[in-house]
Amino acid sequence: MTTFSAQDLQLLANKDISQKQVLDQIETFEEGIPFVELAKPAIVSDGILKFTEAEETALISDFDAHKKNTSLLKFVPASGAASRMFKALFAFLDSYDPKEDLDSFIERTGNAQLRNFFNGLSRFPFYKKIEERLEDKKLSENEKAVHFVREMLLEEGLNFGFYPKGLLPFHDYGKYTATPFEEHLKEASDYAAVDGEAHLHFTISEQHISLFSKEFEAIKERVLEETGTEYHVSYSYQKASTDTIAVTLENEPFRNSDGTILFRPGGHGALIENLNEQHADIIFIKNIDNVVVPKYAVEVGNGKKVLAGLLLRLQKETFRMAELLETGTLEVGQLEEIKAFLEDQLNVRFSEKFSSFSIAEQIEVLKDKINRPIRICGMVKNEGEPGGGPFWITDRHGHVSLQIVESAQVDMSDETQEGIFKGSTHFNPVDLVCGVRNHKGEKFNLLNFVDKKQGFITSKTQEGKELKALELPGLWNGGMAFWNTVFVEVPLVTFNPVKTVNDLLKPAHQV
């Protein structure tokens, strides 16, 4: 039985974490987290919608016609640091001696990322700025390569290696370079603005608030002039109360050298708390590094409008049926209509026993199924990108549902499960449009729709000692497990993340 000292209890109080939360997390470590059971991939015609051009045009028109009466918000997870973008370049600084010819070093190490970086050097948005900073130094070509990377990454230079990713220069417009933060503002003017005003919410690391605030002040007049949109930007941080306890390999609380219990950030699933505090009718969710240059902006914006138009259309029917269910005096035909809508339009699956329930019991089940937040998720064709995808799963109670599943949630030692996962035709680009209110206009408590059994247990080290860490259910995985879910195929151009610095050389990031 785990016991807590007075010092432990004070730490919990400071983080606003209850003893029960910690004990429940320790129990999760002891029991383990079961793998998700995949039933089959979601594909076009079985879990993924694919619209014709005419259907897309109609959905866009629906959204444009109704958005004036709707509060819109763009929600952007933006706490990621840029360090992972530059992993290969940090390794280069550690291992390269300028006495060796650079081409020979690249050839010897077989480092294709490094070759692509130096071949594309002049096409990076920060190239001119760094060149200007180096022009007074008399350097050989090999020395210049090292100095360029040092100037880019390290604290005595531009310090990009330790910046938030959202504030790095991504796109070169000649007179200025634009960060993904700026590009998200411009993009929001297309689909998340009403009457010339757009609201955006960024989740960031607390230590970066002054950097984001300063950037907004520097660019807001330029972006207002360019888009004709006034921006209302808010920020929040991952809450200390969402940190999770780390444990030893024996499932005892892991203690730092000073005796304090080690807590770790709970991963992006913790952001369900931040999302839950937003009150817009429609919330667009998109990651900070997934932006494009203007020539692709219309197609990306239209993709978002298609998803939002579908959400409005489905909500209209959902709300009508939820009101019908509240009367409690429905005929059998009406119950069948509601059940068919839930199955055909919202991908809800019912127990085989449903038909044997009394009318009153059926009404209660239908009320439970229809009174849920709705998420419309864009899906792109799978072209080998790592990450999650759309699947039909069977949960521990035998219930079938549509979910976004990551590879870490699947037992890849099971050939059948591995085969289903690899048979997925589509990939999750984190392109979501969410409806978080019920038919009365009341906001759902999103914390009631999380599957807490869909977290992740990972192995880490601290001060040279092994430990086990717990990540909360991912924001769009277990964090939204009990939402009503619709998947829609969207164009590949909607997915242009910058995971490594070389991604900035792709067409979507070249002005």
- In the numeric block, which tokens belong to residue 100? 């060796």
- Model pLDDT, residue 385: 67
Whole-angstrom CA distances from 126 to 113, 186, 229, 506 are: 18, 21, 27, 15
Q: Which has the closest alpha carbon to 89: 146, 134, 140?
A: 146
Degrees to nearest 5, angle at CA 373 with 368 and 377 = 130
- Model pLDDT, residue 71: 96
Summarize pLDDT for 57-83 with one digit per residue, the tens.
999 999 999 999 999 999 999 988 888
- Model pLDDT, residue 386: 62
Please give the distance of CA 174 from its chain centroid, rounded to a whole number. 31
Amino acid at 414: D
Q: What residues have CB less than 8 Å from 110, skipping those under 6 apart?
A: none
Summarize pLDDT for 24-62 with one digit per residue, the tens.
999 999 999 999 999 999 999 999 999 999 999 999 999
pLDDT band, residue 146 (cuts 50/70/90)? very high
Q: Which has the closest alpha carbon to 304: 498, 485, 64?
A: 64
- Does residue 276 carry a pLDDT above 90? yes
> What's the mean pLDDT in 280-287?
97
pLDDT band, residue 207 (cuts 50/70/90)? very high
Cβ distance 501 to 117 under 8 Å? yes
Residue entry with tokens 């949630």: 409
Please give the distance of CA 87 from its chain centroid, rounded to a whole number. 21
Percent of the chain scored above 70 by pLDDT?
Answer: 99
- Model pLDDT, residue 397: 83
- In the numeric block, which tokens belong to residue 422? 């690899």
- In the numeric block, which tokens belong to residue 151? 């100037």
Please name the helix (run of DSSP H) or strand (run of DSSP E) that holds residue 92, with its range, or none: helix 87-95
- Model pLDDT, residue 139: 86
> What's the mean pLDDT in 288-300?
96
Summarize pLDDT for 363-395 with one digit per residue, the tens.
999 999 999 999 999 999 988 766 689 999 998
pTM: 0.94
Amino acid at 506: K
- What backbone torsions phi and psi does residue 437 show, to the nearest 5 degrees? -115, 155
Neighbours of 169 (CB within 10 A): 20
> What's the mean pLDDT in 439-450?
97
- Model pLDDT, residue 105: 94
- Model pLDDT, residue 188: 97
In the DSSP assignment, the letter for residue 463 is T
Cβ distance 165 to 82 under 8 Å? yes
- Does residue 504 carry a pLDDT above 80? yes
> What's the mean pLDDT in 264-274?
92
Summarize pLDDT for 306-341 with one digit per residue, the tens.
999 999 999 999 999 999 999 877 888 999 999 999
Summarize pLDDT for 182-195 with one digit per residue, the tens.
999 999 999 999 99
What's the number of CA atoms in the CB half-sphere (13 Å) around residue 492? Answer: 9
Please name the helix (run of DSSP H) or strand (run of DSSP E) that holds residue 58, with its range, or none: helix 53-66
- Alpha helix locations (H) across 328-473? 332-346, 359-370, 415-422
Beta strand spans in 441-494 (E): 456-462, 465-471, 484-489
Domains annotated on the chain, with CATH: 36-80+167-509 (3.90.550), 87-163 (no CATH)
Instruction: Quote the mean pLDDT of the chain.
Output: 94
- Alpha helix locations (H) across 96-154? 102-109, 112-119, 127-134, 141-153
